Amino acid sequence: GECRIFVHGYGNAGDAALHAIAFPDAAAHCGRVLTPRGATAARAAFSAHVEENPIFETELVRYHYESFTLPGMTYLYNVRTKEHQLVRQQPVPNFDPSLYRAERIKTPRRAVPISLVYRKDIHPQGLAGGPFPVLLTGYGAYGACSDPDFDGNRLSLLDRGVVYALVHVRGGGELGRSWYEEGRYMAVKNRFQDFVEAADTLVDLHVAMPRRIAAWGTSSGGLLVSASANLRPDLFRAMLLEVPFVDALNTMRDPSIPLTTGEWEEIGNPNERDYFYYMLEYSPYDNIRMEAYPAALVTSSLNDAMVGYWEPLKYVSKLRCLSVAEDRPILLQADFHAGHGAASDRYKCLQDSAFHFAFLLDQLGLAGAHLLGAGGNGAGGMQGSER
């Protein structure tokens, strides 16, 4: 929980000491932990790693540091003089990190961590001043960690009053191997239950309200969001599903589809009876029913070798047939050139992000919200139509 990493020297007794490297100016940007009962404790919400150091006999260590509210920085640290040298910093024009705050809470029952990021001058009372428009996201697969990293695109949402909430559901590796194992095989449904409890917790704490929560998931994160929406469609106003893994049962039964056999090591093989019936209980496409579903923007890529383009198409078609919420659009964005990742053209990538954010802001009632600059006051960030 401290803003530092450790480096062990190699050599004679004097050089073999354990060096604790405290990140420069990190304390001011560390997040804090907020429990549902309101108790707080100083903690760091950051991402750091030691970079490649090809020279073996050296006094210098190269490391990288960033957080939700601080752009990435690469330092050289001298283990002898204990001096830091900034060698690279991610450029973010007109960005003032003091305007943003990161906090972390845990759900009361399942102890699921939720990282929250928001703009302080728009929400001067912090999380106590809610409810707010919330963008809820997560991943929860392969033991991957959703690290507290900096995303310049995210500022566009924060500067309009959106609270960004990242749920660290089981299936991810944030809390160790056991946290990962509790979201695999015959425990995959834990991911969705964690995500739903996170949304319920934000509502109970008056941080959010159901008609102003949008959920965002990409690839396996799309499985997380769409399966959670099947469980509790009343919780979400909108879903942004990017190349989502939504036809899990049919895809996992076909070993000719790329990555299917490898995925059996993650969620099981439905050609085996027990896994078939378990997967049938949560596969998003198979569990769409006649309900008032959230608005949805679903993306698909023709050249996607990881999630077949037909999965989002089938999902959208069925959702349009069965959702009874006539005022909530269900949109499909098909890209005939991209693969599983974003468009390779950086301008096309930014255009897609702008389109996705426009959809989210519209559904959150912030379509007319004024974008605050680095020195703006909090008055304009929450303007917009109420939904």
* 158, amino acid identity: L
Instruction: Report d(CA 132, CA 163) in Å as an integer.
Output: 7
Instruction: Report d(CA 99, CA 108) in Å as an integer.
Output: 29
Instruction: Please report the beta strands in 219-344, taking only residues with DSSP state E, as ranges in sequence order.
Output: 238-242, 295-301, 330-335
Q: H or E element: which one contains 320?
A: helix 310-322
Point out the residues that are catalytic: 219, 304, 340
Instruction: Report d(CA 119, CA 372) in Å as an integer.
Output: 10
Instruction: Report d(CA 300, CA 218) in Å as an integer.
Output: 11
End-to-end CA distance of the chain: 39
* 58, amino acid identity: T
CA atoms lying within 13 Å on the CB side of residue 136: 37
Instruction: Please report the beta strands in 267-354, taking only residues with DSSP state E, as ranges in sequence order.
Output: 295-301, 330-335
27, 38 in Cβ contact below 8 A?
Answer: no
